[in-house]
Structure 1
Amino acid sequence: MPAAFSAGPPGAAPTGPPAGPPAGPAAELIVEGGRLVTPDGVRDGTVIVRDGRVAALLTPGEPLPPGPRLDAAGRYVLPGLIDSHVHFRTPGLEYKEDWEHGSRAALVGGVTTVMDMPNTRPPSLDESSMLAKAAVIQGTSWIDYRFHMGADPDHPELLADLDPRIAGSAKVFMAGHHTAPVVFRDGEQLRRAFAAAARGGVRLVLHAEDQHVFDLLDASSGAPDSYGGYEPHRPRSGGIVAVANVVRLVREFGTKTHILHVSSAEEADLLSAAAAEGLPLTYEVTGHHLSFTHDDTTRRGPRTRLSPAIRECRDQKRLWQAVLRGEVATLGSDHAPHTVEEKNRPPADAPPGLPGVQELATAVWTGLRTRDIAPDEAASHLARLMGEGPARLFDLAGKGRLEVGADADLTLLNPSDRWQFSAHDVQALCGWSAYEGWTFTGRFTSTVKGGQVVWDIRDGFSGRPEGRWLQGTARPLEVAR
């Protein structure tokens, strides 16, 4: 029996058989004796898996069926986490990252489903390019996946007829950077995109910074010559102007809209107020905007050179407040690896982005515990922001909830393990992390995909890449019309 199915840590005595007769037919997997993080609360129990789905959630003392066991004592059992914002760089940029490495990094970070962005080479700007992308990825991913299509400013009308089986969301770049394939610079193009997306029932996901603000500042001040000058070079005003414009468009068209990587206190205030008004407007916060500040970029340079830029302590404090108050809908890694050579270019030329799908949940857990959030509450925040939240927004059926009938995607978290993250731990192809040297609290120890233990901290990866492209459901007739 593999060590992943042992009844405890190395050296522990195995657990004896349950009292009484076995309960029901044999299980595919029994995740025994953990702290279950369910939509109805956190409680002790055991997960029974059959046919790749959660068949039962048992309370302590209930008889167990026969079947292989994964000991979860002292662990939180979370639904397999969802990262709805990754760049796995395929096709065309596989020298930075690929699905083999990116999906392995995800598993080690407790993530079993990702949503990939369109800024590849060529970019995914229509249905045919996404079908081609899916064909390239097939057989290389350890985890399930969906795609955000790229919104094309030259053809915003495509959003009205987007087949939801291929994609139900589309990425809008309102500002450019090194890998942005297209940018909405014209206000009328943006209005047409919002109108078309509303007609098609497509959720827009936005990089909401205003390129005109940045162009104006560039004309007067030029490019930064130091990393300390990067945040003032790409200031909060770009995001504030863009978010205000988005709120106006959502109010006009009713378009479902999700703002990515919110970086400033002012943006959070605007978006939370818009949601309170009842607008269909949600937002994401990234792990790196919760973990780092502008001072880190000033001291450490390119590893936290990001777009949007990392901002001040007051912004970080406001974003944490939004997480804890339930104002944030999702957490995303914005996993965007570049090579060390690319990141070491001069400040004006180093591309923004960092790897993060592996580090996201652990970094956020560490931040929650550092802020004295009780473990059960912290686990509920993770399950909401990387489970129920993204599953609901992006129609990921069977994902993000630990409940009977859901896909048996699970991850086990040791809540109190303190350990130092190093380059040796990095699974991403780029081989580096902005979190090197951090002491984390909490560590994922096993990840289950479709009822199979696919990664365990002692035994590594098991099986082969069998991740699925999660196609959506057909559009209802009334929407199609």
Structure 2
Amino acid sequence: MARVNVQLAVVNGRLVTPAGVRPGVVLVADGRITGIADSAPGHVRVLDAGGRYVLPGLIDSHVHFRTPGLEYKEDWEHGSRAAVAGGVTTVMDMPNTVPPALHPDAVVAKARRITGRSLVDFAFHIGADPLHPEVLVDLDPAIARSAKVFMAGHHTAPTVISEPEVLDKVFAAAAASGVRLVLHAEDQRLHDLLDAWRGGPPHAYRDYERWRPRSSPISAVVQVLELVRRHGTKAHILHLSSAEEADLVAAAAADGLPVTFELTAHHLSFTDADTVRGGARTRLAPAIRGPQDQDRLWAALRAGEAATLGSDHAPHTRDEKERPVADAPPGLPGVQELATAVWTGMRRRWPDEDQDTAVRRLVHHLGEAPADLFGLAGKGRLVAGADGDLVVFDPDRRWMLSASDIASKCGWSAYEGWTFTGRVQVTVKSGLVVYDREQGTFGAPGGRWLSPLSQEGGRTGNG
């Protein structure tokens, strides 16, 4: 090991590996983990973890970094800083930009625009185009291996696919090429029906959850499961909000259907009472629901029924959020808060759980699972040959989030004033420190576009 050109040795850490938590030293050379040793070789740069956990760099497979066209809300300089401050070193960006990324050429142009501006590595979900579902049949997997489907509209949704015959074509096209659909599963036709009956969209936050009821995502999930059964399409349902959705998808997966689902920190952290009290800060689509639904989502996480955790980082400006209820867009920032919010929730809900068991769960849902689901080779695992992306995480640090901590360009967080347990101390990407909390510093933007086809530890990039 001493003969390898080691550029970094992370010492005195509790290493969170696929085999469990163990002491040791992580060695990184040429941007990759070369091995785990008992001691550091001489004459190398040393990062002392101080007895804290050392995690693999985390993956957030659901962000909206708003480029191109909406950079006044967020951009990659700010969004990637928020990511590394939260221990995230790889993100998957959504297609609802201006113009939207509905065609491979748009994805390539987007990647070129981002290159040189991001601290984190990145991949993309292409948008499913209802006018041209055939794009998915011939989709080059080096461009994208997954496609976003909006089954209901909102302020930044570029396309809505709610007609059964169009959904059928999209699912068939995705199945033909092995593209995984990632779905915003709400029923737009149900929204339209209720709004027509009630005289318009919600006009007060006390009515918001009732105006965008649980019946909408439940109906959409039933449609998704029927289409998956018909075509064999791989489907990943985003931001589940209700107990019934979790039951349906878990049952379908147990029955052998290729369906998975994501939980967001927001739906795990807030309830509809927070939206009544705080208004637009926690206005989401799908809506945040009641405590019993939240309990079921936490149970799905603990049971391993959920596949991934995602932030649905969707910043808007304060001015946009202060608009009248019908005009205020849903969404909130969250990539910086994701891991810490989930960790805080786990420790408060299950205080007697072994800490190593809890941290392995966090790493599984923010590392191994999204890496496997979306073909991100070299990501999400602390093993020899993986990318040298590491996080020093203090599991016991108590701290209060304030506006001065927020790295997102929008400058606000729904979690402001929260007392968290657990904090990211240092984030390393490809062997280089990109975030140091104590120093208050960020590294240089060296993030790469990841090719899902790469078999070389995720080191092959495009653009």
CA distance in 1, matches of 2:40, 2:79: 39
Matched, 1:37 2:16: yes
Aligned mate of 2:31, from 28, 52, 59: 52
Indicate if the aligned counterparts of 2:13 and 2:25 stay in contact, CA closer than 8 A.
yes
Per the alignment, residue 18 of structure 1 pairs with none
CA distance in 1, matches of 2:267, 2:442: 33
Aligned mate of 1:324, from 298, 302, 313: 302
Render the CA deviation track for 1:142-177: whole Å, top value 9, x for unaligned.
Answer: 000001000001111111110000000000000000
> Any gaps of 5 or more consecutive residues in structure 2?
456-463
Per the alignment, residue 434 of structure 1 pairs with 414
Render the CA deviation track for 1:288-335: whole Å, top value 9, x for unaligned.
Answer: 000000000001111000111000000100000000000010000000
Matched, 1:213 2:220: no
- What does residue range 19-418 of structure 1 map to in structure 2 within 5 Å? 23-59=2-38, 62=39, 64-221=41-198, 222-371=200-349, 372=351, 373-418=353-398
Render the CA deviation track for 1:224-256: whole Å, top value 9, x for unaligned.
Answer: 221111111101100000001111111111111
Q: Cα RMSD over matched residues? A: 1.3
CA distance in 2, matches of 1:185, 1:407: 40
Indicate if the aligned counterparts of 1:56 and 1:404 stay in contact, CA closer than 8 A.
yes
Q: Which amino acid aligns with 2:368?
A: E
Indicate if the aligned counterparts of 1:144 and 1:470 stay in contact, CA closer than 8 A.
yes
Q: Which amino acid aligns with 1:128?
A: D
What's the TM-score, normalizing by structure 1?
0.92
Q: Which amino acid aligns with 2:404?
A: H
CA distance in 2, matches of 1:250, 1:303: 34
Q: Which amino acid aligns with 1:274?
A: A
Q: Which amino acid aligns with 1:31?
A: V
Matched, 1:423 2:403: yes
Matched, 1:443 2:423: yes
Higher mean Cα deviation, 369-378 or 176-185? 369-378
Indicate if the aligned counterparts of 2:4 and 2:29 stay in contact, CA closer than 8 A.
no
CA distance in 1, matches of 2:407, 2:327: 26
Indicate if the aligned counterparts of 2:95 and 2:124 stay in contact, CA closer than 8 A.
yes
Q: Which amino acid aligns with 2:155?
A: H
Q: Which amino acid aligns with 2:83?
A: A
Deviation at 1:472, TM superposition (A): 2.3
Per the alignment, residue 434 of structure 2 pairs with 454
Three-state SS of the structure 1 residue aligned to 2:305 is coil
% same residue: 64
Deviation at 1:374, TM superposition (A): 2.5
Indicate if the aligned counterparts of 1:30 and 1:49 stay in contact, CA closer than 8 A.
yes
Three-state SS of the structure 2 residue aligned to 1:145 is strand
Deviation at 1:454, TM superposition (A): 1.3
Deviation at 1:24, TM superposition (A): 4.0
Q: Which amino acid aligns with 1:188?
A: E
CA distance in 2, matches of 1:339, 1:316: 27
Q: Which amino acid aligns with 1:149?
A: I
Render the CA deviation track for 1:166-215: whole Å, top value 9, x for unaligned.
Answer: 00000000000000000002111100100100111100000001111111
> Any gaps of 5 or more consecutive residues in structure 1?
1-21, 476-481
Three-state SS of the structure 2 residue aligned to 1:302 is helix
Three-state SS of the structure 1 residue aligned to 2:25 is strand
Three-state SS of the structure 1 residue aligned to 2:407 is coil
- Number of aligned residues: 452
CA distance in 2, matches of 1:327, 1:63: 39
Three-state SS of the structure 2 residue aligned to 1:161 is coil
CA distance in 1, matches of 2:4, 2:108: 40
Indicate if the aligned counterparts of 1:25 and 1:65 stay in contact, CA closer than 8 A.
no
Q: Which amino acid aligns with 1:292?
A: F
Per the alignment, residue 464 of structure 1 pairs with 444
Deviation at 1:462, TM superposition (A): 4.4
Per the alignment, residue 19 of structure 1 pairs with none
Indicate if the aligned counterparts of 1:227 and 1:347 stay in contact, CA closer than 8 A.
yes
Render the CA deviation track for 1:416-449: whole Å, top value 9, x for unaligned.
Answer: 0000001110000000000000000000000000
What's the TM-score, normalizing by structure 2?
0.96
CA distance in 1, matches of 2:15, 2:231: 41
Render the CA deviation track for 1:41-76: whole Å, top value 9, x for unaligned.
Answer: 1111110111111111124xx463431110112211
Q: Which amino acid aligns with 2:363?
A: A
Three-state SS of the structure 1 residue aligned to 2:450 is coil
CA distance in 2, matches of 1:106, 1:320: 23
Per the alignment, residue 12 of structure 1 pairs with none
Structure number, greater radius of gyration: 1
Higher mean Cα deviation, 264-273 or 70-79? 70-79
CA distance in 2, matches of 1:23, 1:141: 32
Q: Which amino acid aligns with 1:47?
A: V
Indicate if the aligned counterparts of 1:27 and 1:65 stay in contact, CA closer than 8 A.
no
Indicate if the aligned counterparts of 1:25 and 1:66 stay in contact, CA closer than 8 A.
no
Q: Which amino acid aligns with 1:446?
A: V
